[in-house]
Structure 1
Amino acid sequence: MIETWRWFGPLDDVTLPEIAQTGASGIVTALHDIPYGAVWPREAIAVRKAEIAAAPGNLHWAVVESLPVHEDIKRGEGDLSGLFARYRQSMANLAAEGIEVVCYNFMPLLDWTRTRLDAPLPAGGHALRFSSVEMAFFEVHMLGRDGAEADYPRDVLHAAASLDRTADEAERDRLLTAIMAGLPGAYARYDVAGLREALQPWAGFGADDLRATFRRFLDEVTPAAEELGLRLCVHPDDPPRPLLGLPRIVSNQDDIATALDMADSRANGLTLCAGSLGANPANDVPAIARRFAGRIHFAHLRNVAKEPDGSFQEAAHLEGDTDMPALIAALLDEEARRTAEGRADAQIPFRPDHGQALLSDLGRKTHPGYPLIGRMRGLAELRGVIAGLSYGGT
């Protein structure tokens, strides 16, 4: 397996020389400064690729995460021919620079959602957390979304009402900031009124509608990906459930099967995110990996600890609810199968996804969930599992 590391570009507080010291060789990044819907120029791709190659440690740009899908494409709104053409041109420019794996997601509005960015850990440090009670409090009492009560069980709504009576302005501001951290793009964020306005175009838009626009997206880009030798890989929903009245369509194995069947091509693949899928109690992540192994082009390896009310917290990589050795064994078996076929893409790139903020991570202004020490611990643990499973064959 190819060890990779997510880097948010020159503005990332974690530097390329630091990443080189973790032992990872592949960089997972994107041109985060380019607006959604615009072409990624080949020249800009080449500059970023050269910047990575010039760093110590023989680093290379291994995976694009993400080549974002414009919200108008997700809504199927207006004349989309220009947006699709520019997306295909960006793909062509990436392929021309030798980059073959492109991760993206099809989640409306928010890329991911947490309600706390610094949940304390028993031994010190902190982690990302999603609290169903805090999310219900936000949707029902702060946002005032019509119909939100129907999305939560009675005990969660009762606890959310209690929180509404006790939360001060500082706590409300902290919660809004945490939820807004999952917005895609550069640094634009909403206040409560702005979020209400941003949600308006999605009113009445359901899961079947989103599946229809996703199918259209795949029809538009998959043939080009095949010609270019690109492997597109959709990222699962995070968390894998509807939020804010927005539909989610890549949350479980049935969703994944539907998405992959929409374009039965190796160019239409999956980013196997153990943490996103692992937050759904119905998902057996190692079993999902084995079922869709042939279409997995990229893996995010992380773990979460789930709670009965739907809450979850980022766990250490070998802790939490997902059997990480069993998942890695499934990926190694797939690599062996590809190697036996003589495939050039036999090795699956993976990255230690997220990480608990530990030791000198505390106080650094890294992207939420992407500290240096916590991810390096995760990479070391995952590396050990891979070595152990590979000894003498899997």
Structure 2
Amino acid sequence: MKMVFRWYGEGNDTVSLRQIKQIPGVEGIVWALHDVPAGEEWPMDKIMAYKEQADAHGFHLEVVESVNVHEDIKLGLPTRDVYIENYKKTIAKLAQVGAKTICYNFMPVFDWIRTDLFRALEDGSTAMFYDKAQVDLMDPEALVRMIADNPYFTMPGWEPERLRRLAPLFEAYKQVTEQDLWDNLQYFLEQIIPVAEQYDIRMAIHPDDPPWPIFGLPRIMTGPDNFRKLLKLVDSPYNGLTLCSGSLGSNPANDIPAMVREFAGRIPFAHIRNVRVYENGDFIETSHRAEDGTVDIVGIMRAYHEIGFTGYARPDHGRHIWDEQCRPGYGLYDRALGIMYLWGVWDAFQREKKERLQ
């Protein structure tokens, strides 16, 4: 298992590379050019600027999250080919700085959804929260205003240019069925995977967050049946999954340790985090500790250990603790604690294995 840490870049993150360097076992940063709009080819000078910063602290740039997919590709519009060509050119450039995995998603309009960015937990920390009934009744414009007004930088999936196009995008997706979205994903992968193979970069799709339809928009990356379908669209080891335990775990029907074992060879990247799911469908993000949430983090780590996982893993959304002012879910302290918890569980399994072999 290769531990990495998501970083949003100088001037757009409260966490510094100097601080990340002090977290035991972190080898690389998970990065992206967040100021480049979806669909545009990434400029090489900006890519190299990230490489210089990473090199200065001894980090690799092997995991990119995300190279966002333009909405015209998801909608299947004639203009999609222009954006797919830009995506191919970006892949070629990323290979020059050692990229090995690209995380992306295929969620219409925006990706993750929460109704409260700073809901209080019993211990006084805060975390991102999802109120199911509120979302079911909410006008998406109201949710957009809540997210856009947060004071802690731009947030992936909620970029300003995307928010400005919200109304026409919702109108366009009225004509898109779930099968249409599958067809458009297949078209994208048939174009992209041969390029990924050429440059030895694995594509890893992220599950929908949460993994069910929102605001009448189709969502297709929701659980094991759909993952099986995805992997058959283009049957290549370069067509894989970013297995996110938090996104999938918000639906208790998802057996994540079973998914780890079933899709073992097709998981280049793992997001490992916990959520607490309530009977009414609400959920809140918690510490990574298994006992604090609903997700079987220890069972998930055991499954990764059993399959001999050598891919990349990162702690995902953390709480906001010790009065840290940070990007929602992406502070330093709780994610660092999460890494140490994950290493502790992993090291225990390593010890067990060593003792069995003696």
What is the distance in 2 between the residues matched to 1:108 and 1:374? 30
Which aligned pairs between 1:103-122 and structure 2 lie closer than 5 A?
Answer: 103-122=103-122
Within 5 A, what are the aligned runs for 1:64-79?
A: 64-79=64-79
Q: Which of 33, 48, 51 is equivalent to 2:50?
A: 48
Shift of 1:184: 2.1
Q: Distance in 2 between matches of 1:5 and 1:272?
A: 16
Q: Equivalent residue for 2:314? A: 351
The partner residue of 1:288 within 254, 259, 269 is 259
User: Counterparts of 1:132 and 1:185 in 2: how far apart (Å)?
Assistant: 20
Per-residue CA deviation, residues 155-207 of structure 1 (Å, 9 max, x unaligned), is xxxxxxxxxxxxxxxx99647757xx86626444748xx64343111113121
Deviations 1:332-370 (A, max 9, x none): 2222xxxxxxxxxx6211001010110041xx1x22111
CA distance in 1, matches of 2:217, 2:247: 17
Residue in 2 aligned with 1:383?
343
Partner of 1:124: 124
1:252 aligned onto 2:253: no
Counterpart Cα distance in 2 of 1:176 and 1:38: 22
Deviates more, 1:217-226 or 1:197-206: 197-206
* Aligned pairs for 1:220-235 within 5 A: 220-235=191-206
* Residues 187 and 172 of structure 1: CA distance in aligned 2, closer, same or farther (over 3 Å): closer
Q: 1:174/1:218 Cα in 2 relative to 1: closer, same or farther (>3 Å)?
A: closer
Root mean square deviation, CA, Å? 2.2
> Could you tell me how far 1:316 is from its partner in structure 2?
1.4
CA distance in 2, matches of 1:114, 1:280: 15
Residue 3 of structure 2 aligns with which residue? 3
- Asked if the contact 1:74–1:214 (Cα under 8 Å) also holds between the matched residues in 2, the reply is yes
For residue 314 of structure 1, the aligned residue among 277, 282, 285 is 285
Counterpart of 1:321, as a letter, is T
Equivalent residues of 1:32, 1:185 under 8 A apart: no
Tell me the secondary structure at the aligned position of residue 307 of structure 2.
Answer: helix
Q: Residues 215-270 of structure 1, C-alpha deviation per residue, up to 9 Å, x if partnerless?
A: 00000001111111111100000000100111100001001111111111010000
Label 1:205 to 1:183 Cα distance change in 2 as closer, same or farther (>3 A).
Answer: farther
Aligned ranges 1:192-341 → 2 under 5 Å:
195-318=166-289, 319-335=292-308
Partner of 2:37: 35
Q: Does 1:14 pair with 2:22?
A: no
CA deviations on 1:136-166 (whole Å, 9 max, x unpaired) are: 2313xx769xxxxxxxxxxxxxxxxxxxxxx
**Secondary structure in 2 aligned to 1:359?**
coil
Note the residue ranges of structure 1 that are not aligned, 5 or more in a row: 145-170, 336-345
Pair 233,172 (structure 1): closer, same or farther in 2 beyond 3 Å: closer
Seen in structure 2, the aligned counterparts of structure 1 residues 2 and 172 have a Cα distance that, compared at 3 Å, is closer
Distance in 1 (alpha carbons) for counterparts of 2:301 and 2:257: 8
2:31–2:65 Cα contact (<8 Å) kept: yes
- Counterpart-to-counterpart distance in 2, 1:91 and 1:134: 39
Cα 1:281–1:33 change in 2 (3 A) is: same
User: Quick check: 1:96 aligned with 2:83?
Assistant: no
Structure 1 residues 38 and 264: alpha-carbon distance in aligned structure 2, compared to 1, 3 A threshold: same
SS of match in other structure, 1:391: helix
Query: How far is 1:50 from its partner?
Result: 1.4
- Larger displacement relative to structure 2 (199-208 or 37-46): 37-46
Cα pair 2:112 2:208 within 8 Å, conserved: yes
Q: Which amino acid letter does the alignment assign opposite residue 15 of structure 2?
A: V
Shift of 1:43: 3.2
Following superposition, the deviation at residue 102 of structure 1 comes to 0.7
Q: Check whether the contact 1:114–1:182 (CA below 8 A) recurs between aligned residues.
A: no
- Counterpart of 1:25 in structure 2: which amino acid? E
In structure 2, the CA distance between the partners of 1:34 and 1:143, relative to structure 1 (3 Å rule), is: closer
2: distance between equivalents of 1:16 and 1:301? Answer: 21
- Contact preservation (8 Å) 1:4, 1:62: no
Distance 1:297 1:43 in 2: 27
> Aligned pair in 2 of structure 1 residues 72, 302: CA closer, same or farther (>3 Å)?
same
Q: TM-score by structure 2 length? A: 0.91
SS in 1 for 2:5: strand
Which residue identity is paired with 1:388?
A
The Cα offsets for residues 100-140 of structure 1, whole Å up to 9 and x where unpaired, read as 1111000011120000001101111100010012212313x
Shift in alpha-carbon separation, 1:120–1:297, aligned structure 2, 3 A: same
Asked if the contact 1:42–1:97 (Cα under 8 Å) also holds between the matched residues in 2, the reply is no
Question: What's the offset of the Cα at 1:53?
Answer: 1.3
1: CA distance between counterparts of 2:167 and 2:138? 12
If you compute each CA radius of gyration, which structure gives the higher value, 1 or 2?
A: 1
* Percent identity for Structure 1 against Structure 2: 37
